[in-house]
Amino acid sequence: MKRETVGRQPKVTRLGYNERHAKSGINAPLPEIETFPNQYKGYEITIEIPEYTAICPKTNLPDFGTITLHYMPDKACLELKALKMYIHAYRNLGIFYENSVNRILHDVVKACRPVWATVTGTFTARGGLSSKIEARYPPQKP
């Protein structure tokens, strides 16, 4: 481990992680998420995808988890088969949990322009630690 000083707090960084790892998968080409016209207003959709898997860009080991997408459609709804193919494309992609959740949210918003959306990734334990990542559109103000 390497210690650096940032302000008054020491910052501990692990050697071996680099910018390439951090940005891995963010701009990788993925299948388009198709949509269909929404016929109603004012309702919510929750989609649970328990088969998420990707590759850790640092260790090259597989990551597993459940992605939950909760959104209020505006003019378009996500087409489920296209969404499934999109999520399955992560299988061989090197990407960190945090990046995948934010990338999924970005791509969902780009595809269907919802009123609002939340993507939650609940990832299986690794080394005794489990992670739950949540991203929202529009972003919450601090």
Q: How far is Cα 99 from Cα 101, in angstroms, rounded to an integer?
A: 6
Active site residues: 56, 63
Q: Is 9 left (phi over 0), alpha (psi -120 to 50) or beta?
A: beta
Radius of gyration (Cα) for the chain, nearest Å?
Answer: 17
Instruction: List beta partners, residue 55.
Output: 62, 94
Q: Which helix (H) or strand (E) holds 75?
A: none
Residue 88, amino acid: H
Residue with tokens 């004012």: 42
